[in-house]
Amino acid sequence: MSKRLNSRVAFVTGGSRGIGAGIVRRLASEGAAVAFTYQRSSAVAEALAASVRAEGGRAQAYQADAADTAALTQAIDDVAREFGRIDILVSNAGILRLGSVEELSLEDFDQTLAVNVRAVFVAAKAALPYMGEGGRIINIGSVNADRVPFPGAAAYAMSKSALKGLVQGMSRDLAPRGITVNNVQPGPVNTDMNPEDSDFATALHGVMALQRHARPEEIGAMVAYLASPEAAFVTGASLNIDGGFAA
């Protein structure tokens, strides 16, 4: 594995499992010092950090609920204080609340916005004072921003569509500082939230060109590219990695 990210400091929200863990492992394998947040299970988070360190990487876990503005901002401040700066921000924390317009509660709607959209903005505002030229802001969206071939996902799809506009606008705001801003939009990924062997997965595969789930490490590879010097000319983009889900 190349060390394209040597001496870089990364902050990943929701990094203890699933896609987040794949991102943490990949960034660390490429030389970055990776701080990541988790919401509940300290044992899972610490196990991931220990595993990364055992492989020669650098990783540290911080407890913070992405929907809690004060906690998320404090975690970013703590990381910047310990490591001196933040070069790469990956907003990965997200929730999925399914339900038709008639059924979905306003509480679930508001929570979807709080985690999937507002927390992304909060994290960026908190990290920017510690980010210099060459900084990278990368959000984990969803291919459902472009296509929703099943019912019950209106609020979730809306939240991920919002990230596209946010990224386009932020890319204009931050270009003078030499900071790029992009979305990664995964299709189905094999995690405990969306396992590849479920009945729902079979239905998803039916609308895909590649009829399988992605692996978390495949999403991590896309994020690592966007975080690298090779992606210096990529900004304001929403990049699908979806096995042809939106094709």
Q: How far apart are CA 92 and CA 141, in angstroms?
A: 8
Catalytic site residue from 38, 62, 130, 156: 156
Write the DSSP symbol of residue 129: G
Contact 28, 37 (CB under 8 A): no
Write the DSSP symbol of residue 116: I
Q: How far apart are CA 57 and CA 79, in angstroms?
A: 17
The tokens for 53 are: 């360190």
> Comparing C-alpha atoms, which of 37, 33, 29, 31 is closest to residue 12?
37
The tokens for 152 are: 């019950």
Write the DSSP symbol of residue 172: H
Contacts by residues 218-221 (CB-CB < 8 Å, ≥ 24 positions apart): 218/22, 218/189, 219/19, 219/22, 219/23, 219/140, 219/184, 219/186, 219/189, 220/19, 220/22, 220/23, 220/24, 220/25, 220/26, 220/27, 221/26
Residue 69: Cβ-neighbour burial (10 angstroms; 0-12, 13-18, 19+): middle
Active site annotation includes 156: yes
Residues labelled as active-site residues: 156
